[in-house]
Amino acid sequence: MSVGVGVNLENLWIRFGDFVAVRNANVNINGGDFFSFLGPSGCGKTTILRAVSGFLDPSEGRVLIGGNDMAGIGPNKRPTALIFQNLALFPLMKVWENITFSMEVKGASTAERRKRADELLDMIALEGQGDKLPSELSGGQKQRVAIARALCAEPDVLLLDEPLSALDLKLRQHMRTELREIQQRVGITFIYITHDQGEALTMSDNVAVMRAGVIDQIGTGHEVYDRPATPFVASFVGENNVFRGKVHEISGTQALLETNRTGLLRAEITPAAIGKLNVGDDAMMFVRPEALAPVGATVPEDKTVIPATVLNEEFEGNSYSVFLEGAGGKEIKMSLPNLGQDPEASKGSELSLTYDARNAVVMPAGELASE
Amino acid sequence: MSKPRPFSQFFRNNGKVMGSIMLFLVLFWIVVLILLPQLSMLDFSFRHNLPPSEVGGPKDVYTLDNYKFLLFGAEGSDSRFNTVDLQVFVRTIIAAIAVTILDLILCYPLAYYLGQSKGKGITRLLVVMLIIPYWINEILRAFALRIIFGDAGLINDVLLLLNLIQEPIDFIRADVALYAGLGYAYILLMLFPMYNVIESLDRNQIEAARDMGASWIRIHRRIVIPHAKPGIASGMTMVFMLSAGALAAPQILGGPSSLWFTQLVYQWFNDSLNWQQGAAYAIVLLVSSIVIVLTFMKIFKVNMGDIGK
């Protein structure tokens, strides 16, 4: 990994009157990382970004960039560049003027600016488009111009506030790859704000999942997806089936959960909850739709079996979503890959579902993401 | 071949009855309230001032005498040009430009503050507070200013009381009252168009520029002012046109030696009962004002369409 400039948030609190937007955030972002803050709208992720960029002063705690305390340093003096959600390109300036605005500010000559603009336009594959107005570009092109404009200032840290949210699905997926490529090429730290878990998981080295001003978990995409620290993370990142119950037995890293309707369910204790879960505690078990499968002819001895009735089946192209009803009306979702033949889960048919306990997690009960 | 047919489209959208009413009202406005009166004034300006018995008679022919009079004065006068009236004309135009610039300087920061402030409640209150004084009659407001600026007026009293001056200042003679009155009379017409365009400016653009290290001056020069240009042009045009054509404020607040060109027009119509001469003076003022506005718009690259925004 290249040696970029890291960002540290230390005991960061941000309040607006009585409202606490950010509650005691502690984050270490390594130099050269692609780091995402993921959370629903209003969780405080944009507030953190504004505190890093300098548009907002923290109520308590410190923001360090490259080890330097940023208190009292304005946005124009920080080694950061911000890409706004709506991009905020200057509509009355040509593309090349937009891109090199930070050089204009420093008093660079037109020739220098033109030269740098051409280099950056090359990099974003918009050669020869410098004399257009932003309104003459497509959504994806505007996006790239915004990135070039931010990179022109040669920031140590690039801050991106949901910059892809205005694009259509295809373009958004394409821009994910492109953003990641650009980040690896320039090697600077990217801090990315999003409510889209797909974006966070595909692009980031590390993800911080936020809920109502609190950072619930920081980890790689895998850790956040496979080993969520809290019920909120488990239910917010990706889809999950949740089973509530009491801890019946703990054996090593696994626990057996006693549910009201579905019986005993075995799952891995999520790393963040190891040592915190005791027999008799209220707990939640999460298993992903894709971790569930219909039982074949023979049921392995050690596996849990959940009987269910198929309510509905939706064809998604690459997969089938099967909606089932377990014992006592428990809703369950199962995802099956499309392997070229109907999964034979027709409406009304009875299935026995099973899963590998290593692909399910159990943790103390808590608040779920509301969706 | 289907040609665009704006009228049938217009009637389809609005219905035959509503469409006809709207069309009639617009035409009525333009033809009866604007074109016909102006055309009759134009016609007047090219005629002799004749006693009623001779109107339509052999002497009632078109002439340029009225315009000649503004340029060269009465025949047989001492000077080659009608210096008195021409000076008034030039002074009026320059003063109207000065008033326009004064209003622009006063309104820009206010419009920026109102347009960009996020506290909507206080903004609305401020705007209402600015509008309410305009419920007061223009003449009353002018007289109130005359009292404030008078020898024994509020301002002189305060200055005397504070021992800043020993003698009252004659604000009326110095035309301070006139400029204040004119500036105040049309200031909202400068403020609101600017406020509207600045309000539509995306705040992120300002923050983006700040993030890239731009100073406040550069942010205004490169981002806010270019964005606000149509509003600025619209406001300046209205203030200039109305100040150049103002009558009440110059009449009430003007010093004894300072005539406004509209006062000359008024005198021709009302005191001399020479409508022909008055019409010529008014037409000259109108045409010159339009030419000046169009010239400035050309210089600052503003399109006529932008003003309507």
Q: Is A105 on the interface with B (CB under 8 A)?
A: yes
Q: Are residues A105 and A138 in the same domain?
A: yes
Contact B210 A88 (CB under 8 A): no
**Claim to verify: residue A359 and residue A320 sit in the same structural domain:** yes
Best to test chain A binding among B202, B205, B211 (most A CBs inside 10 Å)? B211
Please tell me whether residue B156 adopts helix, strand or coil conformation. helix
- pLDDT tens digit string along A162-178? 888 877 888 888 888 88
Mean pLDDT, all residues of chain B? 87
Whether residue A180 lies inside any domain: the answer is yes
Check the CA dihedral B89-B94-B95-B99 and report its sign.
Answer: positive
User: Residue A15's domain is classified under what CATH number?
Assistant: 3.40.50.300
Q: Does residue B48 form part of some domain?
A: no
CATH number of the domain encompassing residue A351: 2.40.50.140
Q: Is A84 on the interface with B (CB under 8 A)?
A: yes
Please give the distance of CA B138 from its chain centroid, rounded to a whole number: 14
Residue A43 maps to a domain: yes
Q: Does residue A103 share a domain with residue A64?
A: yes
> Is there a contact between B226 and B272 (Cβ–Cβ < 8 Å)?
no
Residue A322 and residue A245 in one domain: yes
The pLDDT, as a whole number, for residue A176 is 87
The CA R_g of chain B, rounded to the nearest whole Å, is: 24
Is B225 within the bounds of a domain?
A: yes
Q: For residues A122 and A202, state if they share a domain.
A: yes
Contact across the interface for A82 and B211, Cβ inside 8 Å: yes
User: For residue A142, what are its two tokens?
Assistant: 């505007």
Q: Please report whether residue A194 resides in a domain.
A: yes
What length is written for chain B?
309
* Mean pLDDT across B54-68: 81
Residue A234 placed within a domain: no
- Of residues B163 and B54, the one with the higher pLDDT is B163
Asked if residue A369 is part of any domain, the answer here is: no
Q: How many residues does chain A have?
A: 371
pLDDT given for residue B164 in this prediction: 85
Domain count, chain B: 1
Q: Report the C-alpha gap between B217 and B205 in whole angstroms.
A: 14
pLDDT at B103: 94
Q: Output the CA–CA distances (angstroms, integers) from residue B274 to B10, B38, B77, B289, in the order listed.
A: 46, 17, 20, 23
pLDDT at A3: 65
Closest CA to A286 of A263, A314, A307, A265: A265
Predicted confidence at residue A371, as pLDDT, reads 56
**A340 pLDDT exceeds 80?**
no
What lies within 8 Å, CB to CB, of A357 at 6+ separation is A254, A266, A267, A268, A302, A303, A304
Give ∠ CA B281-B283-B288 in degrees, rounded to 5: 100
In a domain, B31, yes or no: no
Is there a contact between B261 and B92 (Cβ–Cβ < 8 Å)? Answer: yes
How confident is the model at residue B257, as a pLDDT?
73
Average of per-residue pLDDT values in chain A: 89
Res. A300 pLDDT band, cuts 50 70 90: low
Give chain B positions within 8 Å (CB) of A86: 202, 204
Which of A181, A202, A226 finishes a domain?
A226
For residue A151, what is the nearest residue in chain B, using CA coordinates?
B212
Any domain includes B60: no
Q: Domain span at residue A191?
A: 7-226
Residue B67 lies in a domain: no
Write down the pLDDT at residue A125: 84
CB contact under 8 A, B213 and A105: yes
Q: Is residue A2 part of a domain?
A: no
Q: Which amino acid is at B158?
A: V
Using a CB–CB cutoff of 8 Å, tell me whether A133 touches chain B: no
In chain B, whose CA is at the least distance from the CA of A55? B207
What per-residue confidence (pLDDT) applies to A1?
Answer: 41
A299-308, B114-123, B153-162: which has the highest mean pLDDT?
A: B153-162
Q: Are strands A350-354 and A305-315 parallel, antiparallel or unpaired?
A: antiparallel
pLDDT at A301 over 70: no
Mean of pLDDT values over B214-224: 93
Nearest to A88 among B204, B218, B227 (CB): B204
A92 contacts chain B (CB < 8 A): yes
Which value, in Å, is the radius of gyration of the alpha carbons in chain A? Answer: 24
Average pLDDT value for residue range A196-217: 92
Domain boundary among A226, A260, A279: A226
Asked if residue A207 and residue A272 are part of one domain, the reply reads: no
Provide the pLDDT for residue B1. 47
Q: Using the 3D structure, point to which of A179, A197, A226 is the last residue of a domain.
A: A226
Q: Determine, yes or no, domain membership for A1.
A: no
Buried b (16+ CB within 10 A) or exposed e, A165-188: eebeeebbeebbebbbebbeebeb
Residue A209 parent element (H or E): strand A206-211
Write the pLDDT tens digit of every residue in A347-371.
Answer: 788 888 888 888 999 999 988 887 5
User: Quick one: pLDDT at residue A83?
Assistant: 92
Structural domain span for residue B294:
80-307
Of B204, B214, B215, nearest to A86 by CB-CB distance is: B204
Chain B hits for A153, Cβ within 8 Å: 212-213
* Residue A4 or B184, more confident: B184
A158 and A305 fall within a common domain? no
pLDDT digits (tens, 9 = 90+) for A78-128: 999 999 988 999 999 999 999 999 999 999 999 999 999 999 998 888 888
User: Cα separation of A165 and A117, whole Å?
Assistant: 26
Residue A210 above 90 pLDDT? yes
Q: Quick check: B256 pLDDT over 80?
A: no
CA distance B254 to A30: 72
Residues A218 and A354 in one domain: no
Residue A297: predicted pLDDT: 58
Q: What is the CATH number of the domain that holds B159?
A: 1.10.3720.10
Number of domains in chain A: 2
